[in-house]
Amino acid sequence: MTDPIQTARRLARRGRLSHAWLLTGPAGSGKHALAQALARALVCTGEERPCGVCPHCKKVAAGIHPDVITVSPAEGKRDILVDQVRSLRADAYVRPNEAQRKVYLIDPASALNDSAQNALLKVLEEGPAYAAFLLIAEAAGQLLPTVRSRCEQLSLVPPVEEDAPPSQEAVTLTDLMTGGSESALLAHCVGLEKLSREEWTVLLTGTILELERRARTDLSRAGDILPKIEHLKTLRAACDFNVGAGHLAGWLCAGNV
């Protein structure tokens, strides 16, 4: 992803600092760095938010801002329990200590069980105007649709250097999509059913970049390649939800026009 501070500043300039964000992406996608940047922007008093130099920005960076609260599973627990969310909800109605906003980072939001998510709904929808919520998860599908619908969503992918050589896996898939037989592509995709959604995201991103490179270098084939790129982008977006690897593999074959 691009620099998280610059991303937060662009959102602030556009007046798009929502009270509730769902930031998703696999490890290495930058979702935690963006959450920190958005937390700074929400409490910042500088002209360019986050400015990085005001007392609020510095305290968030140091992890000591009293109005930026992280909610995670208790030590030794896997879930964020409903009692923790009830405490968050009560705390949200206590005005901020120092800043104009009070920010709750829920990490990982996938640790919220269904009862905890349902307890969070009311404050997401009807909480005080100064309260903001940053939910961090690997995939949006790990959360209830009712929670997702109350959040602005940003889906991130790990950065890939466009000039870096593509992985062999991405090259193989590109070759099969652009010149292989349907049966060969099907046989290859059967082997992809073992991949996790995170691995699918990386593979699809690399294959998209390789397809884009081939479209640029062979304009006569660009008309055939561009629909394949759009198809893979749709598949990559689906990785944010609870879609199985087998479904992704079948969808890839069926939609390879």
**Phi then psi dihedrals of residue 74, to 5 deg:** -65, 155
Residue 7 to residues 28, 100, 140, 164, 244, Cα–Cα distance (Å): 16, 21, 20, 24, 31
Q: Who's near 161: CB < 8 A, 6+ residues apart?
A: none
Domain ends where: 98, 123, 155?
155
**Count of structural domains within the chain:** 2
**Phi then psi dihedrals of residue 66, to 5 deg:** -70, -15
Q: What is the pLDDT, as a whole number, of residue 173? A: 94
Location of structure tokens 């062999």: 168
pLDDT in tens, 115-131: 999 999 999 999 999 99
Query: From its phi and psi, is residue 114 left (phi > 0), alpha (psi between -120 and 50) or beta?
Result: alpha
Q: What is the pLDDT, as a whole number, of residue 60? A: 96
Q: What is the pLDDT, as a whole number, of residue 95? A: 97
Residue 48 to residues 6, 57, 157, Cα–Cα distance (Å): 10, 11, 26
For residues 180 and 171, what is the distance between their CA atoms, to the nearest angstrom?
Answer: 12
The single-letter DSSP state of residue 165 is P
177 plus 218 within the same structural domain: yes
CB atoms within 10 A of CB 181: 9
Domain ends where: 103, 133, 155?
155
What is the span of the domain harbouring residue 216?
168-254
pLDDT in tens, 87-144: 999 999 999 999 999 999 999 999 999 999 999 999 999 999 999 999 999 888 889 9
For the chain, 257 residues long, the average pLDDT of each consecutive 10-residue run is 82 84 86 95 95 96 96 93 96 96 96 95 94 93 92 78 76 92 90 86 90 85 87 83 81 83
Q: What is the pLDDT, as a whole number, of residue 2? A: 62
12 plus 117 within the same structural domain: yes
User: Is 160 part of a structural domain of the chain?
Assistant: no
Beta strands in 52-186 (DSSP E): 68-71, 102-106, 131-137, 152-155
Q: What is the pTM of this model?
A: 0.69
User: Is 163 part of a structural domain of the chain?
Assistant: no
**140 and 170 in contact (C-beta within 8 Å)?**
no
Ordered DSSP codes for 200-256: HHHHHHHHHHHHHHHHHH-GGGHHHHHHHHHHHHHHHHHTTSS--HHHHHHHHHHT-
Residue 59 to residues 44, 55, 63, 188, 208, Cα–Cα distance (Å): 10, 6, 6, 51, 40
183 plus 249 within the same structural domain: yes
User: Is 205 part of a structural domain of the chain?
Assistant: yes
For residue 133, the SS3 value is strand
Domain ends where: 155, 187, 212?
155
User: Is 199 part of a structural domain of the chain?
Assistant: yes
For residue 178, the SS3 value is helix
Residue 229 to residues 89, 137, 220, 257, Cα–Cα distance (Å): 43, 26, 16, 11
